[in-house]
Structure 1
C-alpha cells in the first residue's frame, strides 16, 4: 500500500509539472502575441490559438489530475454547518449525481470528440479530436475520483473527516 501511495504522489507531482509547462507555454505565447502585435505591428494568429489551446488543456488537466478533492469548490458554509452524518449523505448524493451525469454523457462525448477529427484549428493545424481529447481524460478522472469518494463515504470515511477531525 505504501508503494502505491508513493507512486500516486510521484504521478501527482508529474501532473503538476505538466500543468506548469502548459502555463509557461501559454504565458510565452501571450508575450509573443503582445510583442508581435504592438511592437512589431505584425499580428499573428498562432499565438492566440496556442494560448487558447493551453488554457483549455490547463484547466481540464488541472481539474482532472492536479486539484485535490479537498481543494475543490463547494458550499463550505452549508457543508461545515451540518453534522458528519449529513455531510456523509451529501458526499454520497453528490458522488452518485456526478457518476450518473458524467457516465451518462461519456458515450456522446466520445462520439463528439472522435467525430471532430474531420476539422483542424486555423493556424496550428491541430485536429480537434486531439484538442478535445483532454475532456475525455477529464471525464474519466472525475468518474474514478467520485467512485473512490462514494466508496469512502459508504465505508464511513472521507477526505474531509481527516481535515476537520470529524468522523462520518
Structure 2
C-alpha cells in the first residue's frame, strides 16, 4: 500500500497543479474577453467578471488545499530556524493540534452555511452558491487531513526534521 501511495502521491499532485493551471487559463481568457467586449466592441458583459471572481476563489482554495506544500507554507522562519529540531517538532505538533481543532469546530457551521446557500444563485450564470462555496468545505477537510499528517510526522517521525532543517537552511540562504 505504501508503494502505491508513494507513486500515486506525486501523480495526484501534478494533476492538482494541472487543474489549477486550467482554472487560471480560463480566468485569464475570461478577463481578456471582458476587455475586448468592453473596450474594443463597446459591449460590456458581466458574466466574464463573474467567471473571473468564481475562478479566483476556486484557484486560491484549490491551491491551498492540494498544490501548496508544507515547505511553501508561511511561517516565522526567523524563530522556526533558530530553535532546535525537537522544539521545531513541538511547534509543528502544537500548531497542528490547534489548527485541526479550529477547523473541526468550524466545519459543521461551514457545511450548514454552504448547504443553506443553495437558495441563491449568481447574477449572470445562475450558478447556485452552494456549488460555488463547496470548495471551502473541500479546503477545510484537506487542511484537517494535512495538519493531522504533519502533527503525526512531527510527533512520531523525527527523521523528517532532518529534511525540514535542510529546507529551512536552504530557504534562508545558508
State the distance in 2 between where 1:157 and 1:111 align: 39
Contact 1:88 1:156 in 2 (8 A): no
Task: Give yes or no for the alignment of 1:5 onto 2:17.
Answer: no
**Segments of 4+ in structure 1 off by > 6 A?**
none
- TM-aligned CA deviation for residue 89 of structure 1: 1.2
Counterpart in the other structure of 1:84: 85
Report what 1:161 is aligned to. 162
The Cα of 1:8 is off from its aligned counterpart by 1.1
In 1: Cα distance, 2:158 partner to 2:138 partner? 26
Native 8 Å contact 2:89 2:154 kept in 1 = yes
Paired residue total: 166
* CA shift in 2, pair 1:158/1:12, >3 Å: farther
Structure-2 separation of matches of 1:158 and 1:114:
42
Residue aligning to 1:118: 119
Query: What are structure 2's unaligned runs of at least 5 residues?
Result: 168-174
Secondary structure at the aligned position of 1:10 is classed as helix
For 1:79 and 1:90, how far apart are their aligned partners in 2?
Answer: 8
Q: Which runs of 5+ in 1 are unaligned?
A: none
Match of 1:39 in 2: 40
* TM-score, reference length from structure 2: 0.91
Q: State whether residues 95 and 150 of structure 1, in contact with CA within 8 Å, keep that contact through their aligned partners in structure 2.
A: yes
